[in-house]
Every structure is written in structure tokens, then in C-alpha cells.
Structure 1
């Protein structure tokens, strides 16, 4: 049954008059009569009886009215919801983030959720390489990543991050110049995040070691940055972490940023250029506003 026919049927049932129903539907009475006749043929029942007091529902008409009203109401609600989804007013948005955006990503998601409560936005911690794969397959819509990104993705730079030495409080802090860093890191056992948990961080530290010409060793490896920092706080050793980790550094740890080109990288947002989701540009605009703020 066409929704158009059901709307005509409901209009006649509510007004109990074909003429009034035709005017409400902005059609002619003969056209409306034909629509009701089509619906009667489809249902195999007479739906109205006509008399001096207008059109009255038959028993079959009464039976059809409740379901027709519910069906049209749900169809209208679905159309409205699809319109809201197309406008970005609701839907699902999956967002990835890594260590370098452990502060800005949750804050950006919270700000977006406050402005768009009907959007189901989900945040998941994963490395940049894993985010790129998830963006390609569509399970992540926007990622907070280490740049550069693959060519099929759009990007916006948020800020620059850099490596920092995480040293137990109270220990002597090395001078941040190249020769002092080389001397203090050479053969020093470090606490390190597992490579498969932070491949970008591992690559950046290796680039720094090559630049300095030193070869630290590994004392502990763990899969969680908070555990790395906890071990440093406990005096177990030093580590190299993103300077942005200052947002989660516990008491007992001091960070010394390393101002060398080999220790610096850009972080930003990435998304699939061919994405059709209206939520992606809406979220990117929110991030830009939130970061500037």
C-alpha cells in the first residue's frame, strides 16, 4: 500500500468529508475518490459509507485506520530522522586517537558531544598506523594521528609534538644540548613502550638515537604509557615519551623536552577524502574551534 493512499484515507477518516479532505490535501475531490477506490481494491473491502452526514468508516475502515495512522507516523519519523542524519544532527561517529593527542582528543570529543547530544560519538585509543587502516576500511571516521598520512586521506595539522626525557624527580637533569644528551643516553637502559603499541614513538626515538649517534639499551618494555611513567616515578629508570604526555605525568616524574629536529613531529586529524558522512566536516570544524579556544 502506498503511503500516499493511506494519507488520503486518513484525511477522509478524520474529516468525514471527501470535499474537506481534498482541500486539506490540495487535490481535487474526483482524484481523492479515485485514490480511495484504489485502496479499497487493494484491501478488498469497502472503507467508507456515504450519507447525508458525510463519510463514515465501515468496520473494515475502522480496522485499517489504526494501523495506517501508525505506519504513516513512523514513516514521517523515519524521513525526519534521515533528514537529521543527512544534516549531521544525529548518527554514529567513530574517532581514533594516539599518545600525542591524549589531551586534545578527549576534550574535542566532549565538546562535540555537548553540542550534538544526538550523535553517538565513540573514542578509541590506537596507534596512528592502526588508525590509518581503520579509516580506510570505514570503522574509524576521523583519527587524531601522527602526520604525514597516506595520500588518500585529508589532514589538518593541530600542533607539533616532541620527544621528552622522563626522569625520576630528584635526579640530575642533563643539559638539552646534543653532546650532553648523547653522553647521558649512550648505553643507558631505558623503559620503553612496546613497538607494536607505539610504532610511531619507536620510529621517532630511533631517529633521535641515529641523529645523536648513541645506542641506549632496554630495561623494561610495557604496553601502556601510564605504566612507563609509573616505572619512572618509582625510580626504575628513564624513558623517552611525547612531551604532550605532561597531561598524564604522575608525581615523581620530570619531563625535559628535547629541542632537536629529529625529536619533533606534527600531529593532526585525518579522514578519508571520499567520505560521504556529514558528521566528519561537522566534527573537524568543532575540533578547530576547540583547539583555537
Structure 2
């Protein structure tokens, strides 16, 4: 249905005069007459009758006018929503994050929701390589990953993260002595692929030997096991600040202790809400 014809119908019903209606709609009177005739022809029903007292609605016109008003109202609401979506004020963003952005990513989302309450945001904990795959398939719109990201993705650096050694107590032991004394707790490879690669690089470049290792499902379990004195762990420094009291953190030096974290996206996919999120994160 042509909304312009319905608008002409509603306005003429309100004013009851072709000349006034044509002026209100900024069209010529012959053009208005043509619109009304076309609508009546399309509906196969007379909507108006002309008399000495002006133009009045027929019985059919009176019956159909509320429906026309409803359609116009729904169309107006639709166009308002479409305008919000077009400028990124409404929509859906799926965001991925990893260990290094465990605290940072939720902060960004909370800030974004305050600015754009009409945008629904989901957050999923995923390794960087999986996030990069999902960004290209549009299953994620934004990812907090190790950067730089590989083409065709684009990325923006946000901060640096570093490895630290977490131990159950503060002592004079050095890194090698801790690795000799207790098992090294690590994430299962599918979950901690990036972190495990960083740990291996650090151990190899510094010629550290480990006595035993124990694989764990998640960071929270690793922290709990360290606090229980069952093992030690090499973790991102950004994760440690959410750990409970009693966990000792040892700063590390040497090669392969740091990496870059940033935000990544697929520029081939147009998404204004996502672009607003990226711009906000870049601004800090």
C-alpha cells in the first residue's frame, strides 16, 4: 500500500476540503484528486462524497480511516526505528574477549550501554584465534584479541599485558626454584592456546625447566589451586588484580614476557553500531 495515498486520505478526512488539503500536503489540487481517485480505485470503494457542505467521508471511508491511521502510525514507528538502526542507536553487537581483557571488556560494554541503551550487547569468553574466525563469519562483531590481527581483519592496540608468576606464598625462591618445587598449572590447550604459546616461548628463551605440569579448565581453578599450595602458574598480569588476597605475584623480566592487546573487527562488514562501539573504545 502506498503510504502517500493513505496520508492524503487521512488529511482530506481531517480538513474536509480539497484546497486546504492540497496546501497542507504541498501538492496541487489536481494531483490530490488523482491520489484520492487512485486509492479509491485500488480499494474498489468510495471514500468521500462531495456536497454543498464540503467533502465528507462515506460510511466505508469512516470504517477504513482508523485502519489507515494505524498503518501510518506503524510506518512512522518503523521509520523511527530504522533511523536509530542506521545511526547505530539500536541493534545487536556480539563481543568476544579473552584472558587479558577479562576485566577491561566488561567495563567497555557497561560504558557503551550507558551511551547506547537501545543496542543489545552479548559477551563471550573465547581464545583470540577463535574470535578472529568468528569475526570473519559475522558471528562476532568485535573482538578483544592479541594484536596485530591478520588481514582481512583490522585492529587497534589498546594496552600491553605481561606474564607474571603466581605462587602460594612470598618467599626468596626464584622462578626456577618455584618451577622445581611445584607443578606448573596450565590451561587446557584449546582454551589457553595463546597463553600457552606465550608461556612456552618464555620458558624456552629463558632456559627454564619445569618438573611437572597440570592442566586445568579455567583461570579461577588455577588461582584456587595456587592458593591451596598445589602448584604455581604463569598468568597474564591483567588477570591477577581480580584474584583473592593471599596470592603472591612475582614480576618477570627477560624476553617473551609481554604482548599487545587490542580490539579487532572485519571492515568488510558494514555495521554502524559496531563502529560506534569501536570509536568509543578508541577514545578511552
**1:244-259 map, 5 Å:** 244-259=238-253
**1:8-47 map, 5 Å:** 8-47=8-47
- Secondary structure in 2 aligned to 1:216? coil
CA RMSD of aligned residues (A): 1.6
| Shift, 1:288, TM fit | 2.4
In the alignment, is the contact (CA less than 8 A) between 2:108 and 2:281 conserved in 1? Answer: yes
Structure 2 counterpart of 1:216, from 210, 216, 225 = 210
Q: 1:150 to 1:92 in 2, by over 3 A?
A: same
In the alignment, is the contact (CA less than 8 A) between 1:98 and 1:128 conserved in 2? Answer: yes
In the alignment, is the contact (CA less than 8 A) between 2:184 and 2:231 conserved in 1? Answer: yes
In 1, the alpha carbon distance for the partners of 2:283 and 2:111 equals: 10
Q: 1:187 to 1:216 in 2, by over 3 A?
A: farther
Structure 2 counterpart of 1:242, from 216, 236, 240 = 236
Q: Confirm or deny that 1:284 pairs with 2:283.
A: no
In the alignment, is the contact (CA less than 8 A) between 1:103 and 1:247 conserved in 2? Answer: no
Structure 1 counterpart of 2:195, from 196, 201, 207 = 201
Give a deviation string over 1:110-138, Cα, whole Å, max 9, x none.
Answer: 01111111111111111111110110100
In the alignment, is the contact (CA less than 8 A) between 1:226 and 1:248 conserved in 2? Answer: no
Partner of 1:178: none
Partner of 2:164: 164
In the alignment, is the contact (CA less than 8 A) between 1:233 and 1:251 conserved in 2? Answer: no
| Shift, 1:272, TM fit | 0.4
| Shift, 1:173, TM fit | 4.5
In the alignment, is the contact (CA less than 8 A) between 1:186 and 1:214 conserved in 2? Answer: no
Q: Confirm or deny that 1:69 pairs with 2:69.
A: yes
* Structure 2, gaps ≥5 residues long: none
Moved over 2 A (4+): 181-188, 217-220
| Shift, 1:281, TM fit | 2.3
Q: Which range is displaced more, 156-165 or 259-268? A: 259-268
Q: Confirm or deny that 1:116 pairs with 2:110.
A: no
- Secondary structure in 2 aligned to 1:110? helix
**1:74-223 map, 5 Å:** 74-169=74-169, 171-175=170-174, 181-182=175-176, 184-185=178-179, 188-223=182-217
- Secondary structure in 2 aligned to 1:203? helix
In the alignment, is the contact (CA less than 8 A) between 1:192 and 1:218 conserved in 2? Answer: no
- Secondary structure in 1 aligned to 2:191? coil
TM norm structure 2: 0.95
Q: 1:53 to 1:143 in 2, by over 3 A?
A: same
* Structure 1, gaps ≥5 residues long: 176-180
| Shift, 1:162, TM fit | 0.9
In 1, the alpha carbon distance for the partners of 2:68 and 2:147 equals: 55
Partner of 1:227: 221
Give a deviation string over 1:123-169, Cα, whole Å, max 9, x none.
Answer: 11111111101101001111111123111111111111111101013
